[in-house]
Structure 1
Amino acid sequence: MRSRTTTGPPPPADGALAALGRRCFRRRRLVLWTWIIGVVAVAFAGFTFGAASDNGFSGGGTGSARVQKLMAEHFPQEQGDRLTLAVRTGKGIDDPAVRRKIEKTVTALAGSALTGPVISPYQDDTLVTDDRRVARTTIPLSAEEVDKSEVRPLVDLVKDASDDDVTFALGGYMAEKAETPPQGPAESVGVAAAAVILFIAFGSLVAMGLPIVTALLAILGGLALIKLVGHLVPAPDFTVAFGAMIGLGVGVDYALFIVTRYKDALKDGDHPEHATAEAVATAGRAVLFAGTTVVIALMGLVVMGQRLMTGVAVATSVAVLVTMIGAVTLLPALLGFTGHRINALRLPRRGPRRGHRTGAVRGARRPALAERWAGVVQRRPLPAALLAGTVLLALSVPVLSMRLSQPDASVQPHDRSSYIAYGILSEGFGPGYGAPLVFAAETGPGGSGLGSVVDAVARTDGIAAVTPLRTSADGQAVTFTAFPVSGYQDEATAELVHELRDEVLPRVPGGGRVLLGGPNASTVDAADEAASRLPLMIAAVIAVSMLLLMALVRSVTIAVQAAVMNLLSIGAAYGVVVAVVQWGWLGPALGFPAAMPVTTWVPMMMFPVLFGLSMDYQVFLVSRVREEYERTGDTRVAVARALAGTARVITAAAAVMIAVFTTSLLGHDISVKQGGLGMAVAVLIDATIVRLVLVPAVMELCGKANWWMPGRRRAPGAAAASASPAAGDREEAGV
């Protein structure tokens, strides 16, 4: 017989999810082998035949995208990836010994099967500074698609050629990629940290291992599917690293919630099969709702209208979906193998075991720490809410100065060849050499007549130099390049792009048909698009998530509270990212070599992920509040007991997330590190300031209004309260 310490009805163990849990429990060998064979097959296909990444962020209608299309059509010989050889020597490039070294290096680069024709600095004086101490040359890559592993030998060749007399460095996008190591130990450290947290939370190696095994197997299949989905929806190269980070975090968390419920059911006397069915029917339902919320929030990126952000949304959603499926199918099968041995290999503990409740006698129960803390907040709800809100708003202040851009060589680690090349070229040819502005126009037969446009651009403040006008081989288009005084990451360069487009070109005869593009303008366009569409994405994600939460808890008030609290915590996380990344506070200590604008895609990606994850914790907590309120009719008691009943599991889940996201700082991708930092901060804020202070304070202030829903005549707990005056003394059920 089932023995429970509560007089309330047991959680339901019927329905489709309960049946699924029983079926996976009974057919555990079949389920396990299906997962193993399926993941191995998908992994082989995905990592062998997966799509290559696509990093073109420009939208089809932007000025930079139109320039890129025009250049590809009329100047095809200038398309493709290029490297830049930078040379610096104190003796001058005409010194005989220095000249031999430079010519030898240029010859070696030109002789590679990977490169096209290379012009020596001795053949073109425009490639050399007036003092003859700095030189450069462009090295075209002959293949249309080049892997970074193929470029690495060229980077090493140039580094090895440097000595005390002359410094060589190789710059360019592919050189940056070739020097960027893989994420390395970041994911493995995240797994180890999650294992330690779970071991402390569960006190058992077996219970610890189940969420880890489930998450790892699911995320392996999810990452392979991301590579395959790339054939249909292209995604940038950071997607796999980001998907692994998100998938690992939610995968461990979802399994944690189900294992916790399973252990509590066993402790109450359930048979393992029934405990599995109950865990999947209750915690599994919450997992499916939470995961669906994350997926819907991620799909909000489609509103951004950027093809590659749609790819990121689809790919990351795939990883989350696989972890959800693993939590409600693979995990029940693994529970079938463990049974009552879930607590095997225990961590030694002092004091009474959890299963022996010293406060079983009604009225003698000692409130949990979280419940006592909730009582403290509820006695002074207004000051607590104001203090927490003030802290979150203060942390959000830096958001007002947020700037968006894409990382370039200037923000790479200073020992990289690409950064050294940036320094040499900036010293010799000015900071704007790395931020060229490309102008292009279709002219048709008969010439361009755009000389006045070139002159107007050259006279614009902030322009350092302009190249001569060039006509395409087919005579249908012209182009020229301008170099700004400021660098790629400088705000002045972005302002210059807007000035040229909005003021200079429209005022010059023929300037209206001239387009402005190039890598810097492309970054400006992407940032402008992100800034203009971000509010629309935020509104769409909030609206859909609120509707889902209202359907689950049947309360408009709680849905509004969740949306506002999530916005506050995400805003605070944005503020911390700006302070660290853009202002440089603790930047070097956290792995950011230099102060830089926030990467364009980071706030776009952070919002839906964090809103979905925050809604997860809100669902787990508020569902429990509603359960307690329906039993007691007392909001204060319901909030306190729900906080006590969920504090341990939510704290462990948040700690896992924080550990996984923080370990991204051990990696080498600047943008992924920004996203990991922001999400770790957001989860920390959500699990502390929001869940421990704002939620109990605001719900105490709202009282019975918490349960307002149009069409409802009375609060859900009213009947229970009137029928059972002593209901408030009941022992709470497990999570």
Structure 2
Amino acid sequence: MSTEAPPKDGALAGLARFCYRRRRLVLMAWILGVLAVAFVGFRFAAASDNDFTGGTTDSARAQALIEKHFPEQQGDTLTLAVKADKGIDDPAVRAKIEKVISTLDTFTVTGPVISPYQDATLVTKDRHIARTTIPLTNKEASKSDVKPLVDAVKDASGDGVLMGLGGDKAEKAETPKPGPAEGVGVLAAAVILFIAFGSLVAMGLPIVTALMAILGGIGLLKLVAHVVPSPDFTVLVAALIGLGVGIDYALFIVTRYKDSLHDGDDPETATVKAITTAGHAVLFAGTTVVIALLGLVAMGQRLMTGVAIGASVTVLVTMIAAVTLLPAFLGFTGRKINSLRLPRRRSRRLESAGAPSRERRTPAERWAGVVQRRPLVATVLAGAGLLVLAAPALSMRLSLPDASVQPHDRSSYISHQIVSEGFGPGYGAPMVFATQVDSTNADLRRVVDKVRATEGVAYVTQPRVSKDGQAATFMAFPETGFQDQATTDLVHKLRDSVLPEVSGGDRVFLGGPNAGAIDFAAQTSSRLPWMIGVVIALSLLLLIGLVRSVTIALQAAVMNLLSIGAAYGVLVAIVQWGWLGSALGFPAAMPVTTWVPMMMFPVLFGLSMDYEVFLISRVREEYERTGDTRRAVTSGLARTAKVITAAAAIMIAVFTTSLLGPDVAVKQIGLGMAVAVLVDATVIRMVLVPAVMELCGQANWWMPGRRAPKATSGPHAGVGEEARV
């Protein structure tokens, strides 16, 4: 039998016993609850909101003027682009083009289509490339409404005629569903768990628990979006995070349960111990992730607030599932947790007390000894390596994806390429100018002429005054494309010097999709430091409260910043510089998607704190037993290496499967988080933590107002059950 004292009664112990003994009731409540929430959530889901232009920026004010005074301009449009080897006037080509236009005109979601044969401005001078606009009469046109239009254009291509249908709605319509990505992630997690646990039953519990929690969490997320709007990528991000943390949290609890059974406890006692120890750490770790996610609120961007709250809801559900649903599952499995085992040689178990002999030292202990013998060298080399990886982040550019960075077989990309070739790359990056006027006879010629004369502007349209005579608008097209830095520089030049010089007392606002993306990137860059500060401060307070050491909390913050910085740098090198980009599924080199770095930071900071909690709580337990920091670190690594490695491998597997998906922005965040977790589980936990703790010695345990803890003689003295994982 186990010599460890039975866990004390408390809220978590009582909850664990209730869920264990009433397991049928708990399981039925979870199944019915998840099904009900999922049905209501998916049936009455709030519509996604992808408008990042809110606030008081120039693009937001321009959009507000247009919406108020030009209602006829509201609604989405598509762009049909045609390239004909023989020219569009060839009889066979003309018949094909007119047939496509006639077909598009018959759909109920489209308005009148102007043929390029009726407007010479829609055709290039050599008559080989033409374009026309397809208005959508239904602003809420769904993916299923627009997909037939895309298919009709694709089917018409061939025989020397290339056609593409562009526009935001067309781009979304032809974007395939996520497909096998999540399934591959679950399969990879199952393999890792099977190897770690050596049992199909033990493998299945974390996966089933996580999947049920994610289904319920996403259902709630879709309902919460009625109150706090969120963009369409929120569900994918929440699923990635929820799957990773959900499996990891269940993994830690099942590991502790198996250890207790091995020590001779009965299944109920083992369940209570697992929940009061690992479950307590799970609640703390999950709370840290939630608080870190809510740090996005500091960005002051309403849609990112929606992402933060939506992802937080999913994490909360996974936490609740870990301490309620999982104990019920453990009640059903009991001692059969090791059923259907993987045939392998039985490993020798590490003694929990006493110095292990040399022949019984684990690889993690031997590695820790190597690092601790040369702590300064290890710290310098590891720190320098992480700084080198982080260096590319200094050149990070932010933008939102457009058609130019989509897969090259997409109709939207083909349309973009044809129009760029015929009418210039700036056609996909229109700049929309809007201003208030006092009559329908308002004269904007001076402003238009000055914009037209600005270097970098390719073409300017004639101004239009609203029917009510209170606003005017015109458009200009740059010589460079949406993702080009020169286009960003042009927008800033027009705003900062050209428009103030010629507009007099009337403010002319520069907006449009490109300007909106630029404003969003500027807002993100200026507010990101505030968000980072808020997340670090709140996480430090929580960690100090748990480990009762200011030094260790500060070490954790610095190391987390290094790992996240390295992830940012690798992301820039692959996505923006194009290193290995095509091999990893990125169609072209592109700026980093604006919301990715600000979403990565709180998620990764929270996840890194998870590993810190699981490792340091073990280290502190051993230190309070022996008073020897070196031995405590060695033992802590040995006790947690296997479970943290398995947890990190699951996270990496889940995050990298996003590379199989169609969304380039989600690919970016998945790649960045996978790199950060890899760095955290290897360089940080296996090199920097033991090296820095060796250098700090007794200072590791510094806390204002008290002395460093002294060693005690009991096998688990000096630390409560709730601190051990």
Report the TM range for the smaller structure's normalisation: over 0.9
Q: Which residue of 2 aligns with 1:80?
A: 75
**Sequence identity of aligned pairs in percent?**
72
Amino acid paired to 2:601: F
Mapped to 2, the partners of 1:719 and 1:434 lie a distance apart of 68
Unaligned runs of 5+ in 1: none
For the 8 Å contact 2:431–2:510, the answer to whether it is kept is yes
Deviation per residue, 1:337-387 (Å, 9 max, x gap): 00011101100112x455697999976872221111111101100000000
Q: Report whether the alignment pairs 1:709 with 2:691.
A: no
The structural deviation recorded for 1:734 is 8.5
For the 8 Å contact 1:13–1:274, the answer to whether it is kept is no
The structural deviation recorded for 1:61 is 0.9
Q: 1:68 to 1:243 in 2, by over 3 A?
A: same
Q: 1:621 to 1:259 in 2, by over 3 A?
A: same
The structural deviation recorded for 1:112 is 0.8
For the 8 Å contact 2:618–2:724, the answer to whether it is kept is no
Q: 1:470 to 1:236 in 2, by over 3 A?
A: same
Amino acid paired to 1:685: V
Q: Which residue of 1 aligns with 2:208?
A: 213
Out of 75, 84, 93, the residue aligned to residue 88 of structure 2 is 93
Mapped to 1, the partners of 2:355 and 2:509 lie a distance apart of 80
The structural deviation recorded for 1:467 is 0.4
Amino acid paired to 1:495: D
Show structure 1 runs of 4+ deviating over 4 A. 353-365, 723-728
Q: Secondary structure at the match of 1:153?
A: helix
Q: Which residue of 1 aligns with 2:544?
A: 550
Q: 1:661 to 1:511 in 2, by over 3 A?
A: farther
Q: Report whether the alignment pairs 1:605 with 2:605.
A: no
Q: Which residue of 1 aligns with 2:396?
A: 402
Q: Which residue of 2 aligns with 1:508?
A: 502
Deviation per residue, 1:645-682 (Å, 9 max, x gap): 00000000000000000111011110000000000000
For the 8 Å contact 1:463–1:482, the answer to whether it is kept is yes
Q: 1:361 to 1:457 in 2, by over 3 A?
A: closer
Out of 259, 280, 289, the residue aligned to residue 294 of structure 1 is 289
Mapped to 1, the partners of 2:352 and 2:230 lie a distance apart of 56
Q: 1:153 to 1:725 in 2, by over 3 A?
A: closer
The structural deviation recorded for 1:97 is 2.0
The structural deviation recorded for 1:444 is 2.1
Mapped to 2, the partners of 1:46 and 1:312 lie a distance apart of 16
Out of 621, 625, 628, the residue aligned to residue 622 of structure 2 is 628
Q: Secondary structure at the match of 2:117?
A: helix
Q: Which residue of 1 aligns with 2:241?
A: 246
Out of 264, 272, 279, the residue aligned to residue 267 of structure 2 is 272
The structural deviation recorded for 1:101 is 1.5
Q: Report whether the alignment pairs 1:63 with 2:43.
A: no
Q: Report whether the alignment pairs 1:416 with 2:415.
A: no
Q: Secondary structure at the match of 2:28?
A: helix
The structural deviation recorded for 1:598 is 0.3
For the 8 Å contact 1:645–1:734, the answer to whether it is kept is no
Q: Secondary structure at the match of 2:468?
A: coil
Q: Report whether the alignment pairs 1:521 with 2:520.
A: no
Correspondence 1:27-176 to 2 at 5 A: 27-176=22-171
Q: Which residue of 2 aligns with 1:372?
A: 366
The structural deviation recorded for 1:538 is 0.2
Amino acid paired to 2:704: P
Deviating more after overlay: 49-58 vs 533-542: 49-58
Deviating more after overlay: 440-449 vs 635-644: 440-449
Amino acid paired to 1:232: V
Q: Report whether the alignment pairs 1:18 with 2:13.
A: yes
The structural deviation recorded for 1:510 is 2.9
Amino acid paired to 1:510: G
For the 8 Å contact 2:16–2:324, the answer to whether it is kept is yes
Q: 1:375 to 1:537 in 2, by over 3 A?
A: same
Deviation per residue, 1:309-346 (Å, 9 max, x gap): 00000000000000000000000000000001110110
Mapped to 1, the partners of 2:174 and 2:422 lie a distance apart of 23
Q: Report whether the alignment pairs 1:489 with 2:488.
A: no
Mapped to 1, the partners of 2:165 and 2:46 lie a distance apart of 28
The structural deviation recorded for 1:84 is 0.3
Q: 1:727 to 1:76 in 2, by over 3 A?
A: closer
The structural deviation recorded for 1:100 is 1.6
Q: Report whether the alignment pairs 1:456 with 2:456.
A: no
Mapped to 2, the partners of 1:434 and 1:33 lie a distance apart of 54
For the 8 Å contact 1:64–1:522, the answer to whether it is kept is yes
For the 8 Å contact 2:651–2:674, the answer to whether it is kept is yes
Q: Report whether the alignment pairs 1:647 with 2:633.
A: no
Amino acid paired to 2:317: V
Q: 1:359 to 1:439 in 2, by over 3 A?
A: closer
Out of 512, 528, 533, the residue aligned to residue 534 of structure 1 is 528
Amino acid paired to 1:535: P
Amino acid paired to 1:367: R
For the 8 Å contact 1:24–1:333, the answer to whether it is kept is yes
Mapped to 2, the partners of 1:72 and 1:671 lie a distance apart of 29
The structural deviation recorded for 1:119 is 1.0
Amino acid paired to 1:188: G
Mapped to 1, the partners of 2:606 and 2:258 lie a distance apart of 26
Amino acid paired to 2:60: A
For the 8 Å contact 1:505–1:511, the answer to whether it is kept is no
Deviating more after overlay: 445-454 vs 378-387: 445-454
For the 8 Å contact 2:350–2:360, the answer to whether it is kept is no
Q: Which residue of 2 aligns with 1:619?
A: 613
Amino acid paired to 2:519: D
The structural deviation recorded for 1:150 is 1.3
Q: Which residue of 2 aligns with 1:468?
A: 462
TM-score by length of 2: 0.97
Mapped to 1, the partners of 2:247 and 2:21 lie a distance apart of 23
Deviation per residue, 1:427-450 (Å, 9 max, x gap): 000000000000010102263232
Cα RMSD, aligned residues only: 1.9
The structural deviation recorded for 1:126 is 1.1
Q: Secondary structure at the match of 1:122?
A: coil
Q: 1:568 to 1:363 in 2, by over 3 A?
A: closer
Deviating more after overlay: 470-479 vs 571-580: 470-479
Q: 1:702 to 1:358 in 2, by over 3 A?
A: closer
Mapped to 2, the partners of 1:295 and 1:509 lie a distance apart of 47
Amino acid paired to 1:528: A
Amino acid paired to 1:599: T
Mapped to 1, the partners of 2:56 and 2:716 lie a distance apart of 66
Deviation per residue, 1:265-298 (Å, 9 max, x gap): 0100111101100100000000000000000000
For the 8 Å contact 1:21–1:332, the answer to whether it is kept is yes
Deviating more after overlay: 360-369 vs 434-443: 360-369
Mapped to 2, the partners of 1:492 and 1:543 lie a distance apart of 38
Q: Which residue of 1 aligns with 2:225?
A: 230
Mapped to 2, the partners of 1:434 and 1:11 lie a distance apart of 68
The structural deviation recorded for 1:12 is 3.5
Amino acid paired to 1:465: Y
The structural deviation recorded for 1:96 is 2.1
For the 8 Å contact 1:114–1:143, the answer to whether it is kept is yes
The structural deviation recorded for 1:250 is 0.3
Mapped to 2, the partners of 1:74 and 1:113 lie a distance apart of 27
For the 8 Å contact 1:264–1:734, the answer to whether it is kept is no
Q: Which residue of 2 aligns with 1:656?
A: 650
Mapped to 1, the partners of 2:392 and 2:684 lie a distance apart of 20
Q: Which residue of 1 aligns with 2:377?
A: 383
For the 8 Å contact 1:584–1:594, the answer to whether it is kept is yes
Q: Report whether the alignment pairs 1:328 with 2:327.
A: no
